Amino acid sequence: MSEKENVVDNIILDGSTKIEQAGSTGLVLFSTLRSDAKPILQHDNVSVEGVDYPKLFSAKCAICNSPLRELLEHVYIDCGKKVNPVIIFFEKHYGAKLNFAQVKQHVNYHCDFNKIEISGLKSYEGKGEEFARWKYREYELALNVVLSEIDNIGGKSTRTLDDSFKKASILEKLNKQLMMIKQQRDDSTLGLPNIFEVLHDLHEKLLHEDDRRIVRETANELRKIIS
């Protein structure tokens, strides 16, 4: 069997597609893949929904011109923005050849992955199991979310006085939220960790005296509410 027939056997292409040989590897060039190119190996784990970022177009770039451009970019994002897994993906699933420099050029200059926007739904993907763990423990989850937010904001350094006030006011709001959640939790029948222990742990984690003071005040306010 000739090499050309090998390629045809390996990949189902539209009849009018010009098959170009990419050296003696038995692979077709990525640029020859049409939008209806059928994978030789099924892949259903690359999601192209819910992720958005600015895309540029270069007429000279084979990837920009390819109908599989978006799939390639999502494989790139999914694998942690590495070029080699992209090359391997297309070899394995489409019997198609890409070269490193070509992919690098495209992902570096024709897409702006620094501005990736992930819709709320995309970020929930694959988290069913994680959420299941929290079922019936929603107050605990909410408490953890607010606490980690407080921790996160509390750990941020501020440059100006204005920023310090903003930070303090955010922390105060978060602490109020914390108290609300606590109240709601107490109204429910769920047995959850002691809020004072939680606040104490948080207090010990915070680095700045201002933040620690807010947590102490919150604990005092809480004590007044429940005493």
CB of 118 to Zn ion, least distance (A): 22
Task: Verify binding: residue 93, Zn ion, rule CB under 5 A.
Answer: no
CB of 28 to Zn ion, least distance (A): 19
Among 61, 116, 145, 192, binds Zn ion (CB under 5 A): 61
Q: How many CB atoms lie within 10 A of CB 31?
A: 17
Task: Verify binding: residue 63, Zn ion, rule CB under 5 A.
Answer: yes
SS (H, E, C) the chain: CCHHHHHHHHCECCCCCCCCECCCCCCEEHHHCCCCCECCCCCCCCCCCCEECCECCCCCCCCCCCCCHHHHHHHHHHCCCCHHHHHHHHHHHHCEECCHHHHHHHHHHCECHHHCEECHHHHHCCCHHHHHHHCCCHHHHHHHHHHHHHHHHHCCCCCCHHHHHHHHHHHHHHHHHHHHHHHHHHHCCCCCCCHHHHHHHHHHHCCCHHHHHHHHHHHHHHHHHHC
CB of 77 to Zn ion, least distance (A): 15
Task: Verify binding: residue 66, Zn ion, rule CB under 5 A.
Answer: no
Residue 73 or 211 having the CB closest to Zn ion:
73
Among 64, 79, 141, 179, binds Zn ion (CB under 5 A): 64
Residue 106 or 182 having the CB closest to Zn ion:
106
Residue 61 or 179 having the CB closest to Zn ion:
61
Residue 101 or 207 having the CB closest to Zn ion:
101
Among 8, 26, 79, 110, binds Zn ion (CB under 5 A): 110
By CB under 5 A, which span of 76-84, 98-106, 130-138, 152-160 interacts with Zn ion?
A: 98-106
Residue nearest to Zn ion (CB): 61
| Binding to Zn ion in span 116-145, by CB under 5 A | none
By CB under 5 A, which span of 40-48, 59-67, 90-98, 199-207 interacts with Zn ion?
A: 59-67
Residues 57 and 64 sit within 8 Å (Cβ to Cβ): yes
Residues 65 and 31 sit within 8 Å (Cβ to Cβ): yes
Residues 4 and 71 sit within 8 Å (Cβ to Cβ): no
Residue 51 or 111 having the CB closest to Zn ion:
111
Positions in the binding site for Zn ion (CB under 5 A)? 58, 61, 63-64, 106, 110
